[in-house]
Chain A
Amino acid sequence: MLSHRSFVWFCLLPLGVVTAAFFLLPMARLLVTGAEGPQGLAGYFAILSEPRYRATLINTVLLSIATTVTTLIVATIAGIFLQRHRFPGRAVLIAMLTFPLAFPGVVVGFMIILLAGRQGLIGDITNRLVGEKWVFAYSIYGLFLGYLYFSIPRVILTVMAAVQKLDPGLEEAARSLGASPWAVQRDVVLPALVPAFVASGAIAFATAMGAFGTAFTLATNIDVLPMLIYTEFTLAANFATSAALSVGLGVITWCILALARSFTGGAVAAAG
């Protein structure tokens, strides 16, 4: 007969095995590989000291932050509107907005090229209007657009679900106390959505940090970390550097998310 305690341990065993096999072991191996380059442990600092790596890192972080913030703003406005209004064509619009959910990054990149590439739609239009072809698919702006396209559907769905769960009484109470529609949004609606912002923002940010497909299709003039890891790994066969960069990518993403969470932590607890 198992005691209660050992029964719990027994149940946790499969979880432990899976965690070890698919998570801890490869991670440990990655950590070790990162320190096996010619520079040893110092290989980890190359990501900060080597100018090319550092520039790429800063690019990636800035791009991901910009993507997250823009996505949150766009998705919040759209999500609140879509959840609060019933109009003909609403279902079609939601379907269209969430259609890109299934697209891999490569397809998103391809669509950005169709839009802003050398033969793209925007180039055509600007060529006719101002006699100059605007091509930005392969710059950081194209990448930014692609990342937005990728993350907006995910965040919209989370925001819509959170808005649906809001007690309409809260807004009515605020209005009865004299709050203008703008004050209601500021004091009641947005604070109540903070947990949803943190959750979906974290996913948007992490996805942008690690996005590969879109970058692979578009990033010819600019480097982002996942691309850098890919080139170091497959082209230069530089295992140690790519492992160190991978660990760096993970750690930095984690740190920024932890920071964001601690800033909003009080708000999340209060809104809970």
Chain B
Amino acid sequence: MSIVSGHGAAVRIEKCGKTFADGTRALELATLDIARGETLVLLGPSGCGKTTMLRIIAGLELPDPGGKVLFDGKDMTSVPIERRNVGMVFQSYALFPNMSVAENIAYGLKIRGMPKAERTARVAELVDLTNIAGLENRRIDQLSGGQRQRVALARAVAIRPGILLLDEPLTALDAALRERLRSELNRLLRALGITTIYVTHDQAEAMELGDRVVVMRKGAIAQIGSPREIYFAPKDRFVAEFIGAANIVEAPLVNGQLVLPGGQLPIAGEGSRGDAIAMIRPETIRIVAADGSSLSGTIDSVSFIGDRQRFVITGASHKPLTVDAPNTIQAKAGEQVGLSISPDAVRLLPSEN
């Protein structure tokens, strides 16, 4: 039994740009399709236009003339937010301080004229779903941050919205709680099966929650793809460096081999180029014995993190390489080591101009 499933709408944003009254160009022309029931994450550094895009979808902001927002093929561009049937969760939660928890959750239902008995039943359902049983009669200022977050979510999904919009819902919480709520939220979103657009600048959150992730940069879409795609096959250096840790190697490419100070590094495929840029994820590099290895360097530092250890290797590439290795490897700073990297793990990136 799922509470809202089948209520999701498909969303299409067509040639939406946004220039604010003061001339700030917050969003470049973007076209984007979000499937019914999909969870799409907008990910990018601060000020890249994530909130602006979300507010355009919500109806809190108008796109520049020519832009369109469609729900299930219907043009919603000029429909105000109160008639778009979207559920929103704000970073500040924006819970009504003059209402109790239950009244907050029931507010949208009351506005819709739902009879009291039905409302009470629906609130009970949501209180269960979001794990806040027992808090119904509390005032908002008597709740912890995590509890507020749940109330905000319950209030947003109470109205069975066509689309759920969340703007950095976990950012205000401390790290441990954030991680716990993240998996809880993930379970909930899957259970609801509702079209969700989720804004965050935390790439771990984006990976865990998103069916697809839209990486944004300076108001433009840098890449759209599944979490695996943007992690393993980033389109450019910005995406590679923004998603997870990445070693960027700039070196000449000769007959399918990158020529580095510490030796040769074969890549998948042929080709030669004067100035290739490649990305290597730290966990794809293996530390091996120095002799017999085609690429070697010196351990500059080792940090033991617990589940793994992180080496910084100098001399192999022009810049120090970061390597995530199993916590069982015994190696000390100053030692000469070989590096084994599968050709598939070396990802060529387009050179910048």
Binding site for B on A (CB under 8 A): 167, 169-170, 172-180, 183, 187-188, 191-192, 194, 267, 270-272
B139 at the interface (CB under 8 A from A): yes
Pairwise interchain contact B159-A188, C-beta atoms closer than 8 A? no
Please indicate the chain A residues that have their CB under 8 angstroms from the CB of B156 in the complex.
176
Q: B92 an interface residue at 8 Å Cβ cutoff?
A: yes
Residues of B within 8 A of A174 (CB): 96, 107
Interface residues on B, range: 20 to 34
Residues of B within 8 A of A177 (CB): 82, 107-108, 111, 155, 159
Is there a chain A Cβ closer than 8 Å to B335's Cβ?
Answer: no
Contact in complex: B81, A272 (CB < 8 Å): no
A179–B90 CB distance below 8 A:
no
- The CA of A271 and the CA of B82, in the complex, are separated in Å by 24
CA distance A254 to B93 in the complex (A): 39
Asked if B204 lies at the interface with its beta carbon under 8 angstroms from chain A, I say no
Q: Which of B86, B97, B111, B139 contacts A192 (CB 8 A)?
A: B97
Task: Name which of A176, A178, A192, A271 has the most chain B CB atoms within 10 A of its CB.
Answer: A176
Tell whether, in the assembled complex, residue B88 and residue A176 are in contact, meaning their CB atoms are under 8 Å apart. yes
A173-B94 in contact (CB<8A): yes
Q: Is the CB of A187 within 8 A of B82?
A: no
Cβ contacts under 8 Å, A271 to chain B: 97-98
B80 within 8 Å of A (CB atoms): yes
Across the interface, A178 reaches (CB within 8 A) one of B90, B97, B111, namely B111
Give B68-86 interface residues, CB cut-off 8 Å to A: 80-86
* Interface check B289, CB cutoff 8 A: no
Residues of chain A contacted by B92 (CB below 8 angstroms): 167, 169
> Which residues of chain B are within 8 angstroms of A267 by Cβ–Cβ distance?
98
Tell me, in angstroms, the Cα distance from A203 to B112 when the chains sit together.
39
A169 in complex: contacting residue of B83, B90, B139, CB < 8 Å:
B90
B96–A178 touching, CB < 8 Å: no
The answer to whether A172 touches B94, judged by C-beta atoms less than 8 angstroms apart, is yes
Q: How far is the CA of A229 from the CA of B87 in the complex (A)?
A: 61
Name the residue of chain A whose CB is nearest to the CB of B106.
A177
Chain A hits for B88, CB < 8 A: 172-173, 176
Bound complex: CA of A172 vs CA of B84, how far in Å?
A: 13
Q: B98 to A176, Cβ gap below 8 A?
A: no
B82 touches A178 (CB 8 A): yes
CA of A271 to CA of B97 in the docked complex: distance in angstroms? 5
Flag if A179 contacts B97 (CB, 8 Å).
no
> Looking across the interface, which residue of chain B has its beta carbon closest to that of A181?
B82
Cα A174 to Cα B111 in complex, Å, equals: 9
Across the interface, do A170 and B96 meet the contact criterion of CB distance under 8 Å?
yes
Beyond A176-B58, A178-B112, A178-B159, 14 extra complex contacts between A and B, CB < 8 Å: A169-B94, A172-B60, A172-B81, A172-B88, A173-B155, A174-B96, A175-B81, A177-B82, A177-B155, A178-B82, A187-B107, A188-B98, A270-B97, A272-B97
Q: How far is the CA of A111 from the CA of B87 in the complex (A)?
A: 54
Per CB-CB distance, the 8 closest pairs between chain A and chain B, nearest first, are: A177-B108, A169-B94, A191-B98, A173-B94, A176-B88, A178-B111, A169-B90, A175-B82
Bound-state Cα–Cα, A179 to B81, Å: 9
Residues in A with CB closer than 8 Å to B111 are 177-179, 183
Chain A residues with Cβ below 8 Å from B84 are 176
- Determine how close the nearest CB of chain B comes to the CB of A170; give it in whole angstroms: 5
Q: How far is the CA of A219 from the CA of B112 in the complex (A)?
A: 53
Interface string of B88-126 (1 = CB under 8 A from A): 101011111111000000011001100000000000000
Let me know if A173 and B97 touch, CB within 8 A.
Answer: no
Interchain CA distance A192-B86 in the complex, whole Å: 24
B94 closest partner in A (C-beta): A169
Bound together, the chains give a CA A10 to CA B336 distance in angstroms of 72
CA distance A161 to B284 in the complex (A): 57
Is the C-beta of B141 less than 8 angstroms from some C-beta in chain A? yes
User: What is the minimal beta-carbon distance from A216 to any residue of chain B, in angstroms?
Assistant: 42
The smallest C-beta distance from B181 to any residue of chain A, in angstroms, reads: 19
For A191, give the chain B residue with the smallest CB separation: B98
Q: Which residues of B contact A272 (CB under 8 A)?
A: 97, 141
A267 and B95 CA atoms in complex are apart in Å by: 16
Listed A/B pairs (25) with beta-carbon separation below 8 Å: A167-B92, A167-B94, A169-B93, A169-B94, A172-B81, A172-B88, A172-B90, A172-B94, A173-B88, A173-B94, A175-B80, A175-B82, A177-B107, A177-B108, A178-B108, A178-B111, A178-B112, A180-B82, A191-B98, A192-B98, A270-B97, A270-B99, A270-B139, A272-B97, A272-B141
Compute how far the CA of A92 lies from the CA of B165 in the bound complex, rounded to whole angstroms: 41
Q: Which residues of A contact B107 (CB under 8 A)?
A: 174, 177, 179, 187
Which residues of B are found within 8 Å of A192, using beta-carbon distances? 97-98
State the CA gap A56–B93 with chains docked (Å): 52
Task: Name, among B58, B93, B96, B155, the residue most crowded by chain A CB atoms within 10 Å (CB to CB).
Answer: B96
A144: min CB distance to chain B, Å: 32
Pair B90/A173 contact, Cβ less than 8 Å: yes
Assembled-state Cα–Cα distance A170/B152 (Å): 11
Q: How far is the CA of A169 from the CA of B96 in the complex (A)?
A: 10
Least CB distance, B89 to chain A, in whole angstroms: 9
A271 to B58, CA, bound (A): 27
A177 to B82, CA, bound (A): 6
CB-based nearest A residue for B111: A178
In the complex, A176→B165 CA distance in Å? 10
Residues of B within 8 Å of A176, CB to CB, are: 58, 81-82, 84, 86-88, 156
- Distance to closest chain A CB from B271 (angstroms): 52
- Bound CA span A8–B185, Å: 51
Closest approach, in angstroms, between the C-beta of B167 and any C-beta of chain A? 9
**Distance between B318 CB and nearest chain A CB, rounded to angstroms:** 47
B95: chain A residues at CB < 8 Å are 173
Contact with A along B122-155 (1 / 0, CB 8 A): 0000000000000000010100000000000001
- A267–B139 Cα gap in the complex (Å)? 12
